[in-house]
Structure 1
Amino acid sequence: MYAIVRTGGKQYQVAAGDRLKVEKLEGEVGETVELSDVLLVADGENVTIGAPIVDGAKIVAKIVEQGRDKKVLVFKKKRRKNYQVLRGHRQPFTALSIEQIMQ
């Protein structure tokens, strides 16, 4: 059984037992989170597609980690103008462990 869920503006294919790294969600490590924007649920031959979401479907996940990703460097330069800028950015993330897919 697997599902496609939308969180943080992105879509992820998940199954029970998967570990997933998503945009930052509120909550402490060890808490349970419910994701309700389920776009598709597939259980063997039975496939339910939402319009746009599947009614009554939700995904129960446990927060494993709250952290910040690796640094991304952004370098800008304009030739012959003596202009260069180097900036860094670390995006916050939440690591989830998928516990259960409810339909």
Structure 2
Amino acid sequence: MNYAIVNVQGKQFKLIENKYVYVPHISSMNLGDRIFLNQVFFFSKKGIHFFGDPFLENISVQVEILQHIKGSKIIIFKKKRRKGYKVKNGFRPIFSKIKVISFLEKKQ
């Protein structure tokens, strides 16, 4: 099983070939676009492990953007005791659903 650990907008995700992952919203990309993720920390292929320092320069991951969706609501509640101050706010974060197409290795 081939897999890679990549950086997507400051967060690390384990990507496995032909699997779906929800990542923070990738803006300025349309549905069906294929992009390359170049910030690969770790790559495993047939039991052989490659570690980056901090990134692997000869490995990139091709992914396809399938969907942009909203997540479940996150509640922010602020209160100061004995002051009568209470504020309740919330928001729904936006995620992008991506599918890993392939891992590309550049020959050195």
TM-score (norm 2): 0.89
Task: Give, in angstroms, the shift of residue 45 of structure 1.
Answer: 2.7
SS class of match (1:29): coil
Q: What is the rounded CA distance, in whole Å, between the counterparts of 1:85 and 1:77 in structure 2?
A: 7
Q: What is the rounded CA distance, in whole Å, between the counterparts of 1:63 and 1:48 in structure 2?
A: 26
Residue 6 (structure 1) aligns with: 7
SS class of match (1:70): coil
Stretches of 4+ aligned residues off by more than 4 angstroms: none
Residue 39 (structure 2) aligns with: 37
Q: What is the rounded CA distance, in whole Å, between the counterparts of 2:14 and 2:20 in structure 1?
A: 11
The amino acid across from 1:13 in the alignment is K
Alignment partner for residue 78 of structure 1, among 45, 58, 80? Answer: 80
Task: Give, in angstroms, the shift of residue 67 of structure 1.
Answer: 2.0
Q: Is the contact between residue 64 and residue 101 of structure 2 (CA under 8 Å) also seen in structure 1?
A: yes
Residue 15 (structure 1) aligns with: 16
Give ranges in structure 1 of 5+ residues lacking alignment.
none
Q: What is the rounded CA distance, in whole Å, between the counterparts of 2:47 and 2:88 in structure 1?
A: 52
Q: What is the rounded CA distance, in whole Å, between the counterparts of 2:75 and 2:47 in structure 1?
A: 45
Q: What is the rounded CA distance, in whole Å, between the counterparts of 1:45 and 1:85 in structure 2?
A: 52
Task: Give, in angstroms, the shift of residue 13 of structure 1.
Answer: 1.0
Name the count of aligned residue pairs.
103
Quote the sequence identity (%): 26
The amino acid across from 2:64 in the alignment is K
- Summarize deviations over 1:54-97 as a string: whole Å, max 9, x none: 11211001101112211111111112211100001111111101
Give ranges in structure 2 of 5+ residues lacking alignment.
none
TM-score (norm 1): 0.93
